[in-house]
Amino acid sequence: MTQGRVQNKVALITGAAQGIGKETAIVLAREGATVIVSDINDSLGATVAKEIGGHCVYLHLDVSSEDDWKHAISTITERFGKLNILVNNAGVTGFQEGFGPQDPENASLDSWRKVNAVNSDGTFLGCKYAIQAMKSSGAGSIINISSRSGLVGIPGASAYAASKAAVRNHTKTVALYCCQQGYPIRCNSVHPAAILTPMWEPMLGAGPDREIRMAEIAKDIPMQKMGTAEDVANAVLFLASDESKYITGIELTVDGGILAGASATPKRQDIHE
Ligand SMILES: NC(=O)c1ccc[n+]([C@@H]2O[C@H](COP(=O)([O-])OP(=O)(O)OC[C@H]3O[C@@H](n4cnc5c(N)ncnc54)[C@H](O)[C@@H]3O)[C@@H](O)[C@H]2O)c1
């Protein structure tokens, strides 16, 4: 059901060819925004924009490239006259990309830099160029997709976790900076965990063990199930809309309760006094 919650707003979403970014594009377009789908996967991204239809367009944008950001923002402001919503969603773990081991002892400096170039540098560049475009656009909302991994350590994914922590912290800096400058721009982070998207494929694999692995993951989630891309898209929609107009600098978790603590309560005999 459409309620026009982001009617007349222009929204740019990075990494929107699949997964959370794609679903966010669908939800924001459904709620009335003019959506710019961007990615490095041009064929898939263009297909998503076509499926959404209406005013939706596809734009190539490698978030780690400053030239791409300059080109994307100037194209959007020339074509649509403003930018109101930026979802810095593009992200890599280093696993799908085959960057080698990601633990803090064996990860290479090169792989550390490559993961940070997308997740951390990409978010920095997005905020930088969006601020410049949004301050003359009436109102702006930047939503940075961090992760549960930005709030806790992850032994097997050190660069990913550090980059997502950088995203979380930079969000608060941007939020305060915009308030300080009197810019009508809010900036918040979203922290998903265990959302079933193509990002999980290398961990889940195919074949008969897939269901077993999914059950293993679900066991450690208080809600006992993985989330969907739509669960994250709905949180983004709230932060993108004027319903959240007094909210800036927050971190919104979408994780089935994982970060609330452990779902298992220690039994009396487990406590050593
Ligand atoms: N799925 C989860 O459980 C989960 C959990 C926590 C955080 N996240 C975060 O949510 C975001 C989306 O994750 P997802 O699960 O949909 O991932 P995904 O792998 O399904 O999609 C990521 C998209 O980003 C694009 N991309 C990669 N490098 C890019 C670059 N340099 N420039 C532009 N686009 C690029 C890919 O082509 C792809 O379309 C990521 O930032 C991820 O870290 C996901």
Q: Evaluate: CB of 144 within 6 angstroms of ligand 1.
A: no
| Ligand 1 atom at minimum distance from 199 CA | 19
The pLDDT confidence band at residue 247, using thresholds 50, 70 and 90, is: very high
The pLDDT confidence band at residue 266, using thresholds 50, 70 and 90, is: low
Q: What percent of the chain stands above pLDDT 90?
A: 89
Whole-angstrom distance, CA of residue 189 vs CA of residue 170: 9
Judge residue 16's burial from the number of C-beta atoms within 10 Å of its C-beta, 0-12 exposed, 13-18 middle, 19 or more buried. Answer: buried
| Ligand 1 atom at minimum distance from 90 CA | 24
Q: Evaluate: CB of 131 within 6 angstroms of ligand 1.
A: no
Quick check: pTM over 0.85? yes
Whether 199 contacts 193, CB under 8 Å: no
Task: Considering only residues 8 and 270, tell me which one the structure prediction assigns the higher pLDDT.
Answer: 8
| Ligand 1 atom at minimum distance from 148 CA | 6
Question: What spacing in Å lies between the alpha carbon of 37 and ligand 1's midpoint?
Answer: 13
Q: What pLDDT score does 208 carry?
A: 85
Question: What spacing in Å lies between the alpha carbon of 180 and ligand 1's midpoint?
Answer: 31
Quick one: average pLDDT of 255-269? 80
The pLDDT confidence band at residue 262, using thresholds 50, 70 and 90, is: confident
- Per-residue model confidence as pLDDT tens digits over 174-202: 999 999 999 999 999 999 999 999 989 88
Range from 110-124, 129-143, 197-211 carrying the lowest mean pLDDT: 197-211
Q: What pLDDT score does 238 carry?
A: 98
Whole-angstrom distance, CA of residue 251 vs CA of residue 171: 9
With a cut of 80, say whether residue 27 has pLDDT above it. yes
Quick one: average pLDDT of 193-217? 91
What's the mean per-residue pLDDT of the chain? 95
The 3-state secondary structure of the chain reads CCCCCCCCCEEEECCCCCHHHHHHHHHHHHCCCEEEEEECCHHHHHHHHHHHCCCCEEEECCCCCHHHHHHHHHHHHHHHCCCCEEEECCCCCCCCCCCCCCCCCCCCHHHHHHHHHHHHHHHHHHHHHHHHHHCCCCCEEEEEECCHHHCCCCCCCHHHHHHHHHHHHHHHHHHHHHHHHCCCEEEEEEEECCECCHHHHHHHCCCCHHHHHHHHHHHCCCCCCCECHHHHHHHHHHHHCHHHCCCCCCEEEECCCHHHCCCCCCCHHHCCC
Q: Evaluate: CB of 192 within 6 angstroms of ligand 1.
A: yes
Q: Evaluate: CB of 68 within 6 angstroms of ligand 1.
A: no
